[in-house]
Each structure stands twice: as structure tokens, then as C-alpha cells.
Amino acid sequence: MTTHTQPPSTRSPGARPARAWLGRRARSLVLVVHILAASAWIGIDVLVAVLVGVGALASDPALRGLAYQALASFVVVPMATAALLTLVSGVLLGLGTRWGLVRYWWVAVKLAMNVLLVVLILVLLRPGMADVGAAGAELAAQGRTGADLSFLVFPPAVSLTMLVLAVVLAVTKPWGRLRQASQT
């Protein structure tokens, strides 16, 4: 397995030099933002998993309803914000250092996962939240709901799995280059 801990400064013969327009300080700043945004995103996903767990398993219907209402009201905007901030700071780090965006497998795979998760949050999760809130209100008021909310287990499960993989890729930087002389 090929691993790197720093952006490589050497290049293959004949290849154009890779641009690294982020200076040391700017790179550190963007990296801090990137790590904080990714950490916040993971934390929000853990919160979603807890709320979904309470909504599904608690014995008190009022508490279950409250958990679903909290999920519907407070979670998606901070999650989408953290996901977009992770994406933007990651793209800046890729473009502004010699890692590139699609030069190394570990960066390209993280880019694909981040874009996929942002699309899932905005296209699948966000539009469904009104129904989740309504089912939560029904549960809290009447002690039961006709809505099947079991699908809610998937968002935190899928997202946490991908985010843990992204952290492992970021730290181990495996698999080397997509193409030997690619400079994109």
C-alpha cells in the first residue's frame, strides 16, 4: 500500500509541476476549518443516531414524538452546513496543495463520498423532514402514529460509515495516484 503524509514535492519526469498556491499558514488555517467542519458533521450524525434511537425505542410515546420533532426541526440545516463546509475546505485543500482533486485515490474517493452525502442530505433527507415532524407531533399528542419511520435508521448509518471511512482515508492516505503523471 502506498501512503503519504505530506503533499509530495517530487514529480515524474516530463510532468508539469503541480501547483500549490496555498501558503503554509493559509493551508494550516483551511486544514483546521476542514477538520472542525468534518468533526462537527460526525457529531451531528451521532446526534441524529441518538434521536432516531430514542424515537424508535423509548417506551414513552411523548418522548418518542419529541425526539422525532427535534430531528425534524433542528438537525438538517447544521448538518448540511457542516457537510458543505467540509466539501468547500476539502476542495480548497485539494486544489491549493499538491494533493490535487483527482490526482490521488484517497482524495478523489473522499470527494465522491462528500458530494454524494451532500446530495442525499438535500434531495432525500431534507424534503422528508416535514412528514417526520408531523408524525412526531401525532405521536406526542395521541400516543401513536400511522407513519412508518423505520427508514430513518439509514441516514445516520450510511453517513457515519462513509465519514469514518473518510477519516481513515485522510489519515492513512492509501492507494497512490490515479494516473502516474496526472496533474489535475
Binding site for ligand HEM (CB under 6 A): 7, 27, 31, 34-35, 38, 86-87, 90-91, 93-94, 97, 99, 101, 107, 110-111, 113-114, 163, 166-167, 170-171
Measured from the CB atom, the residue of 48 and 163 that comes closer to ligand HEM is 163
Question: Least distance from C-beta 30 to ligand HEM, angstroms?
Answer: 8
Measured from the CB atom, the residue of 56 and 113 that comes closer to ligand HEM is 113
Question: Least distance from C-beta 53 to ligand HEM, angstroms?
Answer: 22
Which residue is at the shortest CB distance from ligand HEM? 90
Burial string for 136-175 (b: 16+ CB within 10 Å, else e) reads: bbbbbeeeebeeebeebeebbeebbebbeebeebbeebee
Measured from the CB atom, the residue of 118 and 134 that comes closer to ligand HEM is 118
Measured from the CB atom, the residue of 7 and 65 that comes closer to ligand HEM is 7
C-alpha cell at 152: 430513518
Q: Which candidate, 130, 101, 97, places its Cα nearest to that of 114?
A: 101
Question: Least distance from C-beta 49 to ligand HEM, angstroms?
Answer: 16
Question: Least distance from C-beta 29 to ligand HEM, angstroms?
Answer: 11
Measured from the CB atom, the residue of 64 and 110 that comes closer to ligand HEM is 110
Angle between helices 61-74 and 24-57 (to 10 degrees): 150
Helix, strand, coil percentages in the chain from 3-state DSSP, rounded to 5: 70, 0, 30
Question: Least distance from C-beta 22 to ligand HEM, angstroms?
Answer: 8
C-alpha cell at 48: 441524529
> Which whole-number Å values give the CA distances from 88 to 37, 39, 85, 107, 147, in the listed order?
10, 15, 5, 13, 36
Grid look-up 480548497 returns: 92
Question: Least distance from C-beta 44 to ligand HEM, angstroms?
Answer: 12
Measured from the CB atom, the residue of 14 and 17 that comes closer to ligand HEM is 17
Element (H, E) at 166: helix 154-172
